[in-house]
Each structure stands twice: as structure tokens, then as C-alpha cells.
Structure 1
Amino acid sequence: MSPMPVPGGDSLDLDSRALALGLVRRDAASVLTPNSTQKEALADEISRHVPILKEIIYPFKLLTVGLHELSHALAGVLTCASVESIQLEPNEGGSTRMRGGIPAITLPAGYLGSSFIGAALIACGFDTDASKVACLVLSFFFLLTLWWARKSWIAWLTIALMAALIVVCWLVAHSVALRFLVLFIGVMSCFYSIWDIIDDTLDRKVNTSDASEYANMIGCCGSRFWGAFWLLISVVFFAAGILVGIAAFKDDWSTQASKADNFLGGSP
């Protein structure tokens, strides 16, 4: 095999170079691979902090439940239903009571509506001003939810906390944190919808669900079919939210900060 010239006048055949690269890769892998003691330490750290993470995201999970129930209610209003109440539960459950409407629209609206809202928030989360507009719309949704859930103390507490977070993120450092808050809520809403569809309809961990009621009402295909269909739509919404955000908002950080300062007074 002919030698290959390298800078400095030295030569190194290809076999030697391949051997050297292989040794470097193996050495890097051995250095970066945790040993049994380190794995135990990592596992211990994760197990100790997972409960803390669960507590941190708990209010956001309640918010996504609220968006799910609000979507049912909004679909009911659009189909001339009389919405009686929304109820949120501490165990992350919820229910919407209404009379009338079109069940073929109101039943899937919880999953698909919250997924669509989440996708819209994700798209807006790529831009500071768009995040502010999204928060104004969210504030209107909060008021609607409280109107229908005025007897639910969980709803009041959750929305009060979210409103406080929005105000703080809006006012601090050119509202940069607001983008990440909107993105986080959007991702949570989309993931909640996707996970809820899988849990309720495909894994069938509950006896009844919106999909089973929908299948009984339509009279064909079964709950798993409709669950898979709604899952596909939710995934498409999620992907579309990301792609729209990337395509629509190209301003850099400084430009977004400048615009944020001129939006409804901006940040101090």
C-alpha cells in the first residue's frame, strides 16, 4: 500500500491512520462510558429528583387538562350546546358538562382542540411578540375556563399561578423567558393530548373514553381505530407547530428584544 503524504513531510499509511482513529474512538468511548458505580450514582440522582420534577410540572399538567376541557366546551358553544360546568380534579382528571350540541364534534374536541392549541403555542414560542399575542389569547381562555369552572378551586389556583408566571416572564429581560414559557406550555399540551389518546384508547387502561363513546355513537370501526386516527391528527398538529414556527419567525435575539420593548409597553 502506497504511503499517503501528510503535512510536515512525514508519511503515514492508511492502515496506521485507521488504527489510530480506532484507538482514539475506543479511548473516547471508554472515558465517556460510566462505570457501574457511576451508573448507580446517576440512577440515585434521577430517582431523587424525579419526584421534584413531577411537582414542578404538576401545575402545567393541570393546565393542559383545563385546555382539554375548555376545547370540549368551545366545541359545544360552536354547535349550540349549553355548557353547564367544567370541573378539574387534583388527580389530573377533568370533566365538562353540557346539554345539546353535536357529539360527533364535541367528543374529539378535547384531544384535538388541546393539541391544536398546543401546536399554535409552539409556533408562537419561536418569536417574542408572537408569544405575547399567544399569552393574550391564553388570558381570554383562562377567563372562559374560570367562568365555566368557577366552582373548581383547582382551576382558580392553577390559572392564578399561570397568570403570575406569564406576568413575570413578560416583564423580565425583554420578555425572553416568555418565549420558553409559551413553548413549554405548548409542548405539554401536545404531549398530553398524544399520551392521553394512547393511554385511553390504544392501551385501553380505562373502560370508557371519548373514543369509545364516539365509536358507539358512529357505530363502526371501534375505539382503537378512532384513537389511532385522532393520534395521527395530533402528531400532525405537533409537527406543523414546529415547522410553522421555524418558517415564520426568523428574527435574531436582538431584533426580537427591540420589538418586544415596543409591544404594549414592553418590559421595563
Structure 2
Amino acid sequence: MPALYTAIEGQSADMRSHLMKRNLTVNHTQAVTLGVIGVYVVVIALLWNIPYVRWSLWPFKMLVIAFHEFGHAITACCTGGKVKSISLDPHEGGVTHMQGGISAITLPAGYLGSSIIGALLIFAGFDIVASKVASIILGVCFLLTLWWARRDWLTIVTVLLAVGLLVACWFIAHGEALRWVVLFIGVMSALYSVWDICDDLILRKVNSSDASVFARKYGGSSQCWGVIWSIISLLFMIVGIVGGIAAFQQSFSQQQEDSKHFIPT
């Protein structure tokens, strides 16, 4: 019995060591994905602030603003409220008209909701099949957004273009292009809340932001709540990256092979 117990303990130790090694080791495919995420962050940061060139990001900005408004809308529904409409503004703004709901949840849900969506898309962006699943879920979210925004042409066009892009990427290299697009949208959405909070509350000090309204209702300063929400948003992004590394160990060739058997195109 002591020998058997020792053998079991040895196997358990080997298994724990193997799992730790699996979770912490970054293979070539994951290293490339991390490098692409880093490039995305730098490129988005540059394009976000360079005059005229920043317009190249405009379609994606409108998309992540739609995520922001979707966060308000879905939490309003989940807390007993009713969504009357969603609309996007050509000057990179948006508004969700809702009635009822718990404002302590619905107000931060715009920034944090887009951050959660971004983190989930980053997580899915580590794998082709996961990106396909994520695009299907996004399609459902887009349908809800279209229902709430059925009177706003800009929201409708933005959502339809996003759906068209995702569908087109399904047919490129068995969905491999979809993986990089999903990853880009995820990084953009995860960082949008951070940059938007800094822009509204630090650089311009906008009085009508979600954080300003939250501060008037529940105390504190808008800058304080903005910093807290920004930190939470960054944590969501980190969790998405770590989760992707831990969950998806397949190489590029393995991912393509798996993708051929999941809703093949």
C-alpha cells in the first residue's frame, strides 16, 4: 500500500506539472497571436490620434459604440427595464433610450459591456472554430441591436456592414481570416472604453458621460469612476488573453483542419 500510494502521488505530481506546463507555455501559434494583438494595439492607438488618418477606424468605432449601447440595452432588459430605441451618431456617439432598470447596473454596462464583449472576442480570436462560434453569437446580438435601432439608418448600415464582413471572412482559408478580424474587433472593443473614458473625463471633461451621470447619482467623481471602470476593462482584456492561451493550444494547421469539420465553407 505505501508503494501504491507513493506511485499515485508521483503520478498526481507529474499530472499537475504537466498541466502547469501546458497552461503557462506559449507555443508558436499563440506567440504569433500575441504579437498580432500587440501590433493591433499600437496601430489602433496611432490611428486613433492622427488627424485625417483616424477616419480609417470610423467603421470599427461605430461598431464598438454599438457594443457600448448594446451593453446598456441588455442590462436594462435584465433588470426589469424597457429599451425604446438605440441610435448612433455620425460624430462617433450613441444613445440608448430606455425606461426603468437599475441605473447602478445599466450606466457602467456600456463601457464594461463593450469591454466584456472585447475580452470574449479576444479569447475566441486565439482559435478559428471559436471565432466562428463568436461570430454566430455576434449575429444574434446584432439582430437584437437592429430591432432596437430599426428607425436609425446609421446603426442599421453599421451592423449590416459588420455582418457582411464576418460572413465574407468565413469563406477565406476555411475561416482563418475570420479569426484575425474577430481578434481585431475584440482588441478595439476592449480598449475603446479605456480610451473613451480618458478622452471624455481627462482630456475633455465631458459632463454628459455615463461616469458623470453615475457620479451625480451615487457620489464620488466622474474621474474616479472612470479610472475604476478603465482598470476593470483592462483586467477583462488580460483575462481574455490568458484564457485564450490556456484554452487553445492547437497549431495553425490543426486549427484549419478543425475548422473544415465545423460548418465548413
TM-score normalised to structure 2 length: 0.79
The offset of 1:51, in angstroms, is 6.6
CA RMSD of aligned residues (A): 1.7
Residue 128 and residue 53 in structure 1: after superposition, are their counterparts in 2 closer, same or farther (change >3 A)? farther
Q: 5 Å matches for 1:81-96? A: 81-96=81-96
Query: Given residue 221 of structure 1, which amino acid in structure 2 is its aligned partner?
Result: G
Distance 2:107 2:183 in 1: 26
Q: Provide, for residues 83-130 of structure 1, a one-character-per-residue CA deviation record: whole Å limited to 9, x for no partner.
A: 000011111110000010000000000000000100000010000000
* Unaligned residue ranges in structure 1 (runs of 5+): 1-45
Identify the residue that residue 189 of structure 2 maps to in structure 1: 189
Identify the residue that residue 227 of structure 2 maps to in structure 1: 228
The offset of 1:214, in angstroms, is 0.8
The offset of 1:54, in angstroms, is 3.1
The offset of 1:204, in angstroms, is 4.4
The offset of 1:160, in angstroms, is 1.4
Q: Provide, for residues 3-44 of structure 1, a one-character-per-residue CA deviation record: whole Å limited to 9, x for no partner.
A: xxxxxxxxxxxxxxxxxxxxxxxxxxxxxxxxxxxxxxxxxx
Query: Given residue 57 of structure 2, which amino acid in structure 1 is its aligned partner?
Result: I
User: Could you say what secondary structure the match of 2:150 adopts?
Assistant: coil
User: Could you say what secondary structure the match of 1:77 adopts?
Assistant: helix
Query: Given residue 261 of structure 1, which amino acid in structure 2 is its aligned partner?
Result: K
Distance 1:168 1:93 in 2: 27
Distance 1:242 1:149 in 2: 32
Bigger mean CA deviation after superposition, 110-119 or 192-201: 192-201
Distance 2:51 2:245 in 1: 33
Q: Are the counterparts in 1 of residues 191 and 234 from structure 2 also a CA contact under 8 Å?
A: no
Query: Given residue 133 of structure 2, which amino acid in structure 1 is its aligned partner?
Result: V
The offset of 1:196, in angstroms, is 1.1
Residue 51 and residue 230 in structure 1: after superposition, are their counterparts in 2 closer, same or farther (change >3 A)? closer
Q: Is 1:158 matched up with 2:130?
A: no
Q: 5 Å matches for 1:1-268? A: 53-218=53-218, 220-264=219-263, 266-267=264-265
The offset of 1:133, in angstroms, is 0.5
Query: Given residue 185 of structure 1, which amino acid in structure 2 is its aligned partner?
Result: I
* Unaligned residue ranges in structure 2 (runs of 5+): 1-45
Residue 176 and residue 51 in structure 1: after superposition, are their counterparts in 2 closer, same or farther (change >3 A)? farther
Q: Are the counterparts in 1 of residues 65 and 94 from structure 2 also a CA contact under 8 Å?
A: yes
How high is the sequence identity, in percent, across the aligned residues?
51
Which structure carries more relative contact order (alpha carbon 8 Å, separation 6+)? Answer: 2
The offset of 1:225, in angstroms, is 1.2
Distance 1:122 1:99 in 2: 32
Distance 1:105 1:52 in 2: 36
Bigger mean CA deviation after superposition, 51-60 or 207-216: 51-60
Query: Given residue 230 of structure 1, which amino acid in structure 2 is its aligned partner?
Result: W
Query: Given residue 257 of structure 2, which amino acid in structure 1 is its aligned partner?
Result: S
Matched length: 218
The offset of 1:209, in angstroms, is 1.3
TM-score normalised to structure 1 length: 0.78
Q: Provide, for residues 119-167 of structure 1, a one-character-per-residue CA deviation record: whole Å limited to 9, x for no partner.
A: 0000100000000000001000100100001111111111111111111
Q: Are the counterparts in 2 of residues 90 and 154 from structure 1 also a CA contact under 8 Å?
A: yes
Q: Are the counterparts in 2 of residues 202 and 228 from structure 1 also a CA contact under 8 Å?
A: no
The structure that has the greater radius of gyration is 1
Bigger mean CA deviation after superposition, 166-175 or 114-123: 166-175
Q: Are the counterparts in 2 of residues 62 and 158 from structure 1 also a CA contact under 8 Å?
A: yes
Distance 1:244 1:126 in 2: 9
